[in-house]
Amino acid sequence: MTASPPPQRSQATGSRAVTHRAEVILLPALAGLFFLGAWQAAVSWSGTDVFPGPLAVFRGLRELAQKGLLVGYVRDSLFRVGAGYALALAVGIPLGAFLGWNAAAAVAANPVIQLLRPISPLAWIPVAIVLFGVGNAATIFLIFLASLFPVLVATMNGVRNISATHLAAGRNFGLSAIALFLRVIFPGALPNVLTGLRIALGVAWLVVVAAEMIAVNSGLGYLVIDARNAGKRYDLVVAAMLLIGVIGLLLNVLMLRVERLRALRWGFRTE
């Protein structure tokens, strides 16, 4: 018998894939151009001397870059987010896995979690300044608090939702408690955990901008408030706002790509 040839991808399917990729690039680009055009038209029509247009904002960004400030502001903000976020992962994932696995511990800890979780991280700013002073430590502490609860709750729910059938199968194969956790529980909970990580990263980026307006003298949040107070440089204010939005978008896209890695794709719906 001769081996049958592998199935060929239809031309229509390939055409649809190419069209989809083109739309993914073209449509956001057109929307961005429309936004810039509407922005410039609104500034020109209003005749305002206060709110800058796109070209003024671009010149402000170029000025910051030429002075060597732009990279430093972005670096400081990313450092604070990375440090606080990493601490939240180091605490939230193990603690969430423990509480998700141990029902009695979860019942005991739940009132404390539900009490602290609704408190805005920004409400902790005075406490952070008292504890750590004005500097990186206070900001990192605020980011840690902001990131902790999304990670903690997502990990708890992920562990709780592990199928009893999968647990029974692991035990039937003679897996030890550690092996059961590493080979069954954690992989099963990982899609939920990654969703929590993406949400936590977005919250952390929001909080660092607000905290930098109060607790430090560098970073994109500081740039917003400093440009407003020192000479009412609204071109720099808007430039910082756009940078905050672009970096937040890139961080979200990065986490979405991580969620859809080949090893994890089973945990998410694909179109």
pLDDT tens digits along 141-200: 999 999 999 999 999 988 888 777 777 777 777 777 777 777 777 777 888 888 899 999
| 182-195 pLDDT, tens digit each | 777 777 788 888 88
Q: Which ranges in the chain belong to alpha helices (H)?
A: 11-46, 54-66, 70-101, 103-116, 125-132, 136-160, 164-172, 177-180, 186-212, 220-229, 234-259
Reported as a single tens digit per residue, the pLDDT across 15-63 is 565 566 666 678 778 887 888 888 888 888 887 777 888 888 888 888 8
Predicted TM-score of the model (pTM): 0.80
Two tokens at 84? Answer: 């606080």
pLDDT tens figures, 209-224: 888 888 778 888 888 8
Average pLDDT, the chain: 82
Confidence of residue 232 (pLDDT cuts 50, 70, 90): confident
Return the CATH number of the domain spanning residue range 53-265.
1.10.3720.10
Residue with tokens 């870059």: 65
Task: Tell me: pLDDT of 265 over 70.
Answer: no
- Domain assignments of the chain as residue spans, ordered by start: 53-265
Residue 49 CA to residue 63 CA, distance in Å, equals 19
- In angstroms, rounded to a whole number, what is the distance separating the alpha carbons of residues 155 and 140? 22
